[in-house]
Structure 1
Amino acid sequence: MRLLLWSQYFWPENFPINEIASELVRAGVSVTVLTGKPNYPDGRFFQGYKGIGILHEHFMGASVVRIPILPRGGGSAARLALNYISFVLSGYLCAPIALRRHQFDAIFVYAPSPLIQALPALFLSFLKRAPMTLWVQDLWPDALKATGHVKSPCLLRLVEAAVRYIYRQTDLILIQSEAFRAPVERLANHPDKIRYFPNLAKVTTSNGLFSTTASRLASTIKESFSVVFAGNVGRAQSVETIVEAAYYLRDARNIKIFVVGSGSRLEWLKAEKERLALKNIVLAGRFPASDMPPILDAASALLVTLGDDPTVSLTVPSKIQGFLARGRPIIACLNGEGARIIKEAEAGLVCPSGNSVELAQAILNLAGMSDEEREQFGINAKCYFMDRFELTRRIRELIDHLAQMKRTDNK
Structure 2
Amino acid sequence: MEPGDGWRTARSSRPAEPETRVTFVTQWFDPEPTTTPGWVARSLRRQDLQLEVLTGIPNYPTGKVHKGYSPVRRSTEIMDGIRVRRTPLYPSHDHSALGRIANFSSFAASSSILGSSLLRSADVVCVYSTPATTAAAGMLARLRWGVPYVLMVMDLWPDSVFATGFLSGGLTRRLAEPALNWFTDQTYRWADHVTATSPGMREALVARGVPADKVSVIYNWANEKIMQPAEPDPSLRARLGLTDEFVLMYAGNHGAAQDLSTAVLAMGELRDLPDVHLVFVGDGIEKPGLRTLARDLGLTSVHFLDPVEPERMPAVMAAGDLQLVSLADRDLFRVTLPSKVQSILACAQPVLTCAPGDAARVVHEAGAGFSSPPADPQLLARAIRRAAALPREQLRQMGLAGREYYLSHLSEDINAGALADLLRRAADRRRRGRRMPRAR
Is TM (by shorter chain) over 0.5? yes
CA distance in 2, matches of 1:295, 1:143: 30
Q: What are the residue-to-residue correspondences of 1:370-381 with 2, within 5 Å?
A: 370-381=391-402
Q: What are the residue-to-residue correspondences of 1:129-168 with 2, within 5 Å?
A: 129-150=146-167, 151=169, 152-168=173-189
**Does residue 1:60 correspond to 2:80, yes or no?**
yes
Please say which of residues 295-304 and 250-259 is displaced more in the overlay: 250-259
CA distance in 1, matches of 2:248, 2:23: 39
Distance 1:215 1:395, change over 3 A: same
**Does residue 1:19 correspond to 2:36, yes or no?**
no
Distance 1:338 1:73, change over 3 A: closer
Greater relative contact order, per chain length (Cα 8 Å cut-off, separation 6+): 2
**Does residue 1:103 correspond to 2:121, yes or no?**
yes
1:173-211 deviation digits (Å, cap 9, x = unpaired): 01111112233224444332111111111434489x99x
SS at match of 2:121: coil
Q: CA deviation at 1:295?
A: 0.5
AA aligned to 1:61 is: G
CA distance in 2, matches of 1:382, 1:218: 24
Q: What are the residue-to-residue correspondences of 1:35-114 with 2, within 5 Å?
A: 35-96=55-116, 99=118, 103-112=121-130, 114=131
* Contiguous gaps of at least 5 residues in structure 2: 1-19, 430-434
Partner residue in 2 for 1:6: 25
Percent identical across equivalent pairs? 28
CA distance in 1, matches of 2:137, 2:111: 5
Query: What TM-score results when the alignment is normalised by the length of structure 2?
Result: 0.87
CA distance in 1, matches of 2:333, 2:415: 26
Q: CA deviation at 1:47?
A: 2.1
CA distance in 2, matches of 1:182, 1:254: 43
AA aligned to 1:10 is: F
Q: CA deviation at 1:369?
A: 0.5
Q: CA deviation at 1:268?
A: 0.9
Give the ranges of 4+ consecutive aligned residues of structure 1 lying more than 6 Å apart after TM superposition: none
Partner residue in 1 for 2:132: 115
Partner residue in 2 for 1:284: 305
Q: Does the 8 Å contact 1:163/1:187 carry over to 2? A: no
Please say which of residues 216-225 and 291-300 is displaced more in the overlay: 216-225
Q: Does the 8 Å contact 2:143/2:438 carry over to 1? A: no
Distance 1:206 1:3, change over 3 A: closer
Q: Does the 8 Å contact 2:112/2:140 carry over to 1? A: yes
AA aligned to 1:359 is: L
AA aligned to 1:107 is: V
Distance 1:122 1:219, change over 3 A: farther
Q: Does the 8 Å contact 1:352/1:358 carry over to 2? A: yes
Distance 1:393 1:169, change over 3 A: closer
CA distance in 1, matches of 2:112, 2:374: 39
SS at match of 2:247: strand
Q: CA deviation at 1:276?
A: 2.0
SS at match of 1:304: strand
Q: CA deviation at 1:398?
A: 1.6
Q: CA deviation at 1:76?
A: 2.5
1:94-148 deviation digits (Å, cap 9, x = unpaired): 2226x38x61111101112x11210222102444432100010111111122222
Q: CA deviation at 1:375?
A: 1.7
CA distance in 2, matches of 1:39, 1:383: 36
